[in-house]
């Protein structure tokens, strides 16, 4: 029997958040954490609230704090996370809770918006498409795969303390994705917006982001590349 403990908070009725325990029979199966949540919602308490969509690690909706580590509920098997028969599920840390496991991601998206996550090219658009060599295209590997689940940024203490000023690992990974793109010509404008004590340099390289990324990406490495670009530009 699995003891599942879920963070509960309904601001309309609860004065403060609390943990609610459920006993759950896995019937010997190695379920995903999302399967457990779905079963509890369907069979025990329909009021348990969380986000989910694709249930296969593509949409990034069900980022949660599972037994103390951020991850996607839909691709985290119980065998990987459960120890001593306990499963503790909390919302992503550092963001305001709307209800139960649902957080307000406005701060996260505001930082993503800051880095202007779209191609900028001042030359006239070609008839069909802007071409790229295979070598230039390969520079985007490890960057474009981010699904914006926010597991990385919400595991970063610098983002917890300064979510309005530090762009965070997810935003910075995407910032480098466009800095590294041979088709983007706004490199100077992009870099000039990052040379302050907070936007990039609040990263102290502790690599919590690398540790939790469900897609196996490395935001710390991308941040290192941005630092090098800023250094090369200014020295």
Partner 1 sequence: MVTQVTSFSRSGLSDWLIQRVTSVILLGYFLCLAGTLLGGPDYQSWKAMHQTTGMQIFTLLAALSLAAHAWIGLWAVYTDYLTERMLGPRGNTLRRICQLGTVLALIIYVLWVIQILWG
Return residues touching partner 1 (CB under 8 A).
157-158, 161-162, 164-165, 192-202, 227, 230-231, 234-235
Closest to partner 1 by CB, 162 or 207: 162
CB-count burial class (<10 Å; 0-12, 13-18, 19+) for 157: middle
Closest to partner 1 by CB, 144 or 161: 161
CA distances, 65 to each of 72, 88, 110, 156, 226 (Å): 9, 8, 22, 13, 29
Q: Which residue intervals of 52-202 are DSSP H helices? A: 78-81, 106-114, 134-138, 157-161, 168-179, 187-192
Matching residue, tokens 């295979």: 134
**Considering the complex, what minimum distance in angstroms separates the CB of residue 101 from partner 1?**
23
Contact 179, 191 (CB under 8 A): yes
Closest to partner 1 by CB, 26 or 162: 162
Closest to partner 1 by CB, 147 or 186: 186
Strands 86-90 and 97-99: unpaired
Instruction: For residues 18 and 232, give the distance between their C-alpha atoms in angstroms, rounded to a whole number.
Output: 50
**Considering the complex, what minimum distance in angstroms separates the CB of residue 153 from partner 1?**
16
Closest to partner 1 by CB, 61 or 153: 153
**Considering the complex, what minimum distance in angstroms separates the CB of residue 186 from partner 1?**
15
Closest to partner 1 by CB, 13 or 231: 231
CB atoms within 10 A of CB 78: 21
**Considering the complex, what minimum distance in angstroms separates the CB of residue 176 from partner 1?**
15
**Considering the complex, what minimum distance in angstroms separates the CB of residue 46 from partner 1?**
35
Residue 86's DSSP bridge partners are: 3, 83
CB atoms within 10 A of CB 112: 21
**Considering the complex, what minimum distance in angstroms separates the CB of residue 162 from partner 1?**
7
């Amino acid at each position: 029997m699995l003891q599942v403990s879920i963070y509960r908070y309904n601001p309309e009725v609860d004065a403060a958040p609390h943990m609610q325990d459920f006993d759950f029979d896995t019937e010997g199966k190695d379920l995903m954490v999302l399967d457990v949540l779905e079963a509890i919602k369907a069979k025990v308490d329909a009021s348990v609230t969380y986000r989910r969509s694709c249930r296969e690690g593509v949409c990034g909706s069900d980022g949660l704090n599972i037994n103390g580590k951020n991850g996607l509920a839909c691709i985290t098997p119980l065998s990987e996370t459960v120890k001593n028969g306990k499963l503790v599920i909390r919302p992503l840390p550092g963001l305001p809770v709307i209800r139960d496991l649902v957080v307000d991601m406005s701060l996260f998206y505001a930082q993503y918006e800051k880095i202007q996550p779209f191609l900028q090219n001042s030359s006239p658009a070609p008839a069909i498409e802007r071409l790229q060599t295979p070598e230039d295209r390969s520079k985007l590997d490890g960057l474009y795969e981010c699904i914006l689940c926010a597991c990385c940024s919400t595991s970063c203490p610098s983002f917890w303390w300064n979510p309005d000023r530090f762009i965070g690992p997810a935003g910075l990974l995407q910032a480098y994705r466009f800095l590294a793109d041979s088709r983007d010509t706004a490199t100077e404008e992009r870099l000039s917006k990052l040379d302050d004590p907070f936007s990039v340099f609040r990263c102290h390289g502790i690599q919590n982001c690398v540790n939790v990324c469900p897609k196996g990406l490395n935001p710390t490495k991308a941040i290192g590349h941005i630092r090098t670009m800023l250094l090369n530009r200014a020295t």
